[in-house]
Chain A
Amino acid sequence: MPAPDLRTATGAILPAAEHFGAALLFLLAGAVGLVWVAPELASGNFLAPRVAGVTHLFTLGWLTTTIFGALHQLLPVALSAPVRWPRVGHASIAAFAPGVALFAAGVATNGAVLHHAGIALVTTGVVLSIANFGATLARAPKRDLTWWAVALALGALASTLLLGVALLHNLHTGFLAEARLRLLAIHLHVALVGWALLVIVGMSQRLLPMFLLAHGVDARWGRRAVALLAAGTIVLALGLALRVRWLAWTGTAMLDGGVVAFLVQARAFYRHRVRRKLDAGMRFAATALVFLAAAATLGPVVLATAPARPRIASAYLLAGLLGGIVLYVVGHFYKIVPFLAWVARYRDRMGRESVPTVADLYSARVATVQWGVMTAGVGALVAGTLAGHAHCARVGALLFAAGTSMLAAQGARIALGIHRPSA
């Protein structure tokens, strides 16, 4: 066979690191913002501008930035396809990161100049990334489940952007009238399920076996998950857009089926793992799967009761976004970022002399405390929102922010190369 292109995984470390660094700052900002908006969440006021601004710090700032960074590193590994234009990766984050900051600030404060400048930069970053990753996929030698999941997810990201621009325009013109809420629901599901969750499911087919050492597990449930989540997002969107209730229910059932299929697949990986003790990253991921199941349970309730019970809708969003997706990505952050830093720092020494282990680059004890604090935080936020208890929601947000600070400290420790060798 021909030699692989050497512009592969190690060449993608710098763009990935830029993305992860920016993402961590957005997560911190989002966590602080969460403390600010917790009472509004507890009252079910998820349409409040500042709630929307904070939400975008998580969705665009943390999730999308992290996913872009991860794709730079993982596409070469998972699909044997080096990123098509590495320089475009730098240009993308240079536009996207400030764009997210401006956009979130603009939405939260109703600042027209800010969110127009922000959306222009975000659009530039997203379009560059979609073009770059799309061209990468086109050159991939094989088209497996991960390929399809990422391809479908990129389509969903483009749709999310278009829907977002329409919602933004509506802020000034009100042209959507009563359709605003339905379009917002479509925007959220296309973003969180069609984009974030599809990437997660697709990449998990490669990452969970690698991180859990669970090779040779039947992957059929992963395929079902990708098919159901992709199709379910479209069906739900059509049902909501056309106001066809049975179609919306069918879409909801398909999304729940997709989540269940993903949970079954993930459970198979966890059950077949060789190493029984879970490390920090995989513990976060397992916890996120529980929150994902909770969100899938709340989904039909939201559809049945909306818009009369906004607190249930808020709790659904919190369980799915913060618990299911953000924590899952935090878990993978612990697996990917220390590894990248380790390779970058020790590539000339590895195999020749004794070097620290990847696990030495961060504190496992802090990670465990962080896991407990963030899990309790999301739990309290969801419970406080369901109960309409503002203090409980704020305590949850404070715990979440404390956990995020610990993650930021770990990130700084990894970046600065401060490590304590294991005994």
Chain B
Amino acid sequence: MTRPPVRADDRVQDVLARDAALVDVFVRHSSHFDKLRNAVLRRVMARLVTVEQAARVAGVPADALVRALNDALGIAAVEPNAPVDRAREGAATRPAGRREVELDLRETLRAGKEPFSRIMSAVGALRDDEVLHLRAIFEPAPLYAVLAKRGLVHETQRHAPDDWSVWFWRGAPAPADSGSERPAATPIDERWLDVRGLEPPEPMQRTLAALESLPAGETLVQVNVRVPQFLLPILAERGFDYQIDESQPDRVLVHIRRRAPHAVSPSPIPETP
């Protein structure tokens, strides 16, 4: 039986699932791919990134990487498939007059740390009248498609080979197949804040900061790995109601919104029928 070749638009996770030893092929092309040896980062990043996007991030030719992966699998050379530039999805020119929130990840990336959770936290807290200004040491191409699914458009500017600016802002509504974390039919008055990659007390701090600017009637959905026991009494003190959803094994959702003015004591948000 003929095995299908690796293609530029295959997810890195799917490629590695075919043969874990292909990590070595990636690493031979660029030391950037050393991170794939870390099981946690592999689980987080490899499922989001295509081979073509990974090659762009690492600054290596995608067709050479695809060819080397196929060679390692013993698959004869194939015609490169037409590049699927999902990364460019959602590119635009940033709107004027919005408040800019800067997230500088350059030192984090140079230190070899994983920035995804910080990015998603910042995105979760991003208001409609704000623009997130991301600074990175390479073009964060895989993010474009991920954030496009959350309804964010972007503009990219390269200052130097290791200095990039990307601005993200809420633009066109999210497509129907929006990301796996956020339900497809997310109500428009909900904001999501994923704090799973943060060490206490950062989840509490970021949640409370996001709540400070939460308009009445809107709900902040905190995505956590556990029930945030230290946060709950503070929410009650500050006049927020909450509802905890532990129905999924790998995460806890805390739906938070301002208490109605007539309410006199802290109470959970009424259960959705």
Residues A350 and B232 in contact, CB atoms below 8 Å apart: no
Bound-state CA distance A275–B41 (Å) is 10
User: Which residue on A lies nearest to B227, using beta carbons?
Assistant: A80
Interface stretch (choices B67-75, B160-168, B176-184, B196-204): B196-204
A residues within 8 A CB of B204?
Answer: 343, 350-351
Q: Taking the complex as formed, is B79 at the interface, i.e. its CB lies under 8 A from any CB of chain A?
A: no
Residues B236 and A4 in contact, CB atoms below 8 Å apart: no
User: Which residue on A lies nearest to B251, using beta carbons?
Assistant: A215
User: Which residue on B lies nearest to A11, using beta carbons?
Assistant: B233
Interface stretch (choices B22-30, B84-92, B205-213): B205-213
Bound-state CA distance A139–B36 (Å) is 44
Residues B268 and A3 in contact, CB atoms below 8 Å apart: yes
A residues within 8 A CB of B211?
Answer: 351
Interface stretch (choices B2-10, B54-62, B138-146, B242-250): B242-250
Bound-state CA distance A214–B199 (Å) is 10
Residues B245 and A4 in contact, CB atoms below 8 Å apart: no
Residues B245 and A8 in contact, CB atoms below 8 Å apart: no
Residues B112 and A276 in contact, CB atoms below 8 Å apart: yes
Residues B266 and A6 in contact, CB atoms below 8 Å apart: yes
Say how far B71's CB is from chain A's closest CB, in angstroms: 31
Residues B234 and A347 in contact, CB atoms below 8 Å apart: yes
Q: How many A residues face the partner with a CB closer than 8 A? A: 34
Residues A4 and B201 in contact, CB atoms below 8 Å apart: no
Query: C-beta contact mask, A305-347 vs B, less than 8 Å → 1, else 0?
Result: 0000000000000000000000000000000000100110001
Residues A8 and B114 in contact, CB atoms below 8 Å apart: no
Q: Taking the complex as formed, is A352 at the interface, i.e. its CB lies under 8 A from any CB of chain B?
A: yes
Say how far B232's CB is from chain A's closest CB, in angstroms: 6
Say how far B56's CB is from chain A's closest CB, in angstroms: 24
Residues A77 and B229 in contact, CB atoms below 8 Å apart: yes
Q: How many B residues face the partner with a CB closer than 8 A? A: 43
Bound-state CA distance A11–B196 (Å) is 24
A residues within 8 A CB of B242?
Answer: 3
Residues B266 and A214 in contact, CB atoms below 8 Å apart: no
Bound-state CA distance A276–B234 (Å) is 32
B residues within 8 A CB of A276?
Answer: 112-113
Bound-state CA distance A411–B181 (Å) is 41
Q: Taking the complex as formed, is A1 at the interface, i.e. its CB lies under 8 A from any CB of chain B?
A: yes
B residues within 8 A CB of A4?
Answer: 227, 229, 232, 244
Residues B233 and A8 in contact, CB atoms below 8 Å apart: yes
Residues A210 and B232 in contact, CB atoms below 8 Å apart: no
Q: Taking the complex as formed, is B98 at the interface, i.e. its CB lies under 8 A from any CB of chain A?
A: no
A residues within 8 A CB of B43?
Answer: 216
Q: Taking the complex as formed, is B96 at the interface, i.e. its CB lies under 8 A from any CB of chain A?
A: no
B residues within 8 A CB of A211?
Answer: 199
Contacts A/B (CB < 8 Å), 14 sampled = A4-B229, A8-B232, A9-B229, A10-B230, A211-B199, A214-B40, A215-B196, A272-B39, A274-B40, A274-B114, A275-B113, A342-B201, A350-B208, A351-B204
Interface residues in chain A, defined as those with a beta carbon under 8 Å from any beta carbon in chain B: 1-4, 6, 8-11, 76-77, 80, 210-211, 213-216, 271-277, 339, 342-343, 347, 350-352, 355, 358
